[in-house]
Homo-oligomer: A and B are copies of this chain.
Amino acid sequence: MLTVLGHNYIGGTRSAAGPAVLSSRSATGGASHPTPFHTATRQEVLAAADSADAVAVEYGALAPSQRATFLEAIAAEIDALDATFITEVARETALPIARLVGERARTSSQLRLFAEILRRGDCLGVRIDRACTDPAASRPDVRQYRIGVGSVAVFGASNFPLAFSVAGGDTASALAAGCPVVVKAHPAHLVTSEIVADAILRAVRRTGMPAGVFNLLYGGHEVSGWLVLAQPIRAVGFTGSLQGGRALCDLAAARAEPIPVFAEMASINPVIVLPGAIAEHPQEVAQALAASVVLGCGQFCTKPGLVLLLRSPHTSRFIECLQQAFASQAAQPMLHGGMLINYRSGIERLAGLPHVIKLAGAAFDNQAAPHLFQASSEAWLGGDEILQEEIFGPATVLIELDACDLPAAVAALRGQLTISVLGQPDELEAQRGLITQLERKAGRLLFNAYPTGVAVCDAMVHGGPYPATSDARATSVGSLAIERFLRPVCYQNYPQASLPPALQDSNPLGLRRLVDGVYI
């Protein structure tokens, strides 16, 4: 068993002023870890924010390549976490070992992607307009680049204990942007959080970073609230429920100095099934769709929770196939007991609706059984609110629609992370108006693909209109995520010697820059 202290991390030291009331439970009801965890006091939360703030200028002023080296050092430490660690993460989350090994690699490769972005340098967004004395276009010398917004609070997700938690995407992109970080550990994986925090601190020491660049706090909602309200915090990254994310947004907006909250919250990720998709191989499509719903026990932000099936001669056969595909899926353990309770109440609420029937779904006890429901198109088009709500877990709702109702059905959708279309290419091409409509509703549009599995790359958008996220202009996966934590600043008429290197005429960082309107 790994040694853990259960103390908060504040500016490179450990702190345990609060009561030791938190424990690292087993996801499947086994024994808790023997070490209790200390919830942070308000003073400790403020001390963590202050310790981040104290190094914000120093850390933000480091060369991008120095921050890249730091991120790569964290990546190496994450990669070095061994099987004992993975076993502990599995104990806390009930996620399979193979998945966690993959997630460890995803976490380190994500850190390396941001290191690469820093070395590429386009995130600095350099724009130089040189002085012009021509009276028709007279202007001073103005040079713009982007700097970190300041200290960032990160709230990790329960469903990605590595890739979207302590050293996950929000932390990686904030550190890349030059922002010190204060993480609030997710209560469902405390040991995981502590071991990852240790890994980050080893990287901090190894690369000579200021200690305050990384801080970690244990606690519940009260700690979350104190952190978002802490004066030095300048932005928030969050992945979790609509209720939790909105509460943080409301707190942040009511501050004396409001700050942006980038919350990734609730999405039902509709899959639109056109007739051509199921004319020939209904069974294969049904199996692939069911597999996407139950993957990771349906505990993905991008799990398809709604299937809009266009009525055709093939639909009844497809529904049968889907029913069979769900019926053959085994129950799986969920991330923690609260998740199971929420899943159960979600499917009970759905099952209780008069216009909803259950097509598949066994009774279950400790593990979540997959469920397939069918709702009437009238209920959807009539604006039923419950059908719009995300059920976290292996359940989805099918709605059979007449083709002529598709525009209205899409118009009724709330903001989504993803919308997928299954069909033949010519069917899609015949739907140009639909595509434009889908664009307004989601951050990512897929064709003949399933939304679970989010590639970490430059082009990825893991975002979308409210309530999918709190700010549709952001993504929390992919290299563009760094932009959430950057702001532009410009220098006017500064002498070369006093300009930041990125803005000097000699271009010592070798950046591609927009100079007098031309990229060079």
Contacts and interface: CB of A to CB of B under 8 A. Distances in A.
Nearest to A428: B498
A409 to B, nearest CB: 16
B493 A447 contact: yes
A446 B487 contact: no
Contact of A442 (B127, B428, B442, B489): B489
Interface stretch (A160-168, A211-219, A462-470): A462-470
A458 B492 contact: no
Nearest to A484: B473
Q: Ordered nearest first, which 6 A-B pairs have the shortest CB separation?
A: A253-B253, A142-B459, A144-B459, A461-B490, A127-B459, A139-B455
B490 A142 contact: no
Given A440-B56, A442-B489, A498 B435 contact: yes
Interface in A416-456: 425, 428-429, 432, 435-437, 439-440, 442-449, 455
A497 to B, nearest CB: 5
A488 interface: yes
B436 A61 contact: yes
B494 A445 contact: yes
A418 to B, nearest CB: 8
Interface string A98-134: 0000000000000000001000101000011100000
B519 A519 contact: yes
Contact of A447 (B60, B234, B435, B492): B492
17 contacts: A56-B440, A60-B440, A116-B517, A120-B517, A127-B459, A149-B472, A150-B440, A253-B253, A253-B258, A428-B495, A429-B497, A445-B489, A446-B492, A447-B498, A449-B492, A463-B488, A512-B519
Contacts of A250: 253-254
A258 B61 CA distance: 33
Given A139-B455, A150-B440, A519-B519, 14 more contacts: A56-B440, A139-B457, A142-B457, A142-B459, A144-B459, A144-B461, A250-B253, A435-B498, A443-B489, A447-B492, A458-B514, A459-B514, A461-B488, A475-B488
Contact of A489 (B143, B144, B461): B461
A480 B127 contact: yes
A77 interface: no
A460 interface: yes
Interface residues of A, number: 76
B487 A472 contact: yes
Interface string A218-261: 00000000000000001000000000000001100110011010
Contacts of A85: none
A139, A448, A489: residue with the most chain B Cβ atoms closer than 10 Å:
A489
A57 interface: yes
A471 interface: yes
A122 B147 CA distance: 20
Contacts of A489: 439, 442-445, 461
Nearest to A150: B440
Nearest to A260: B471
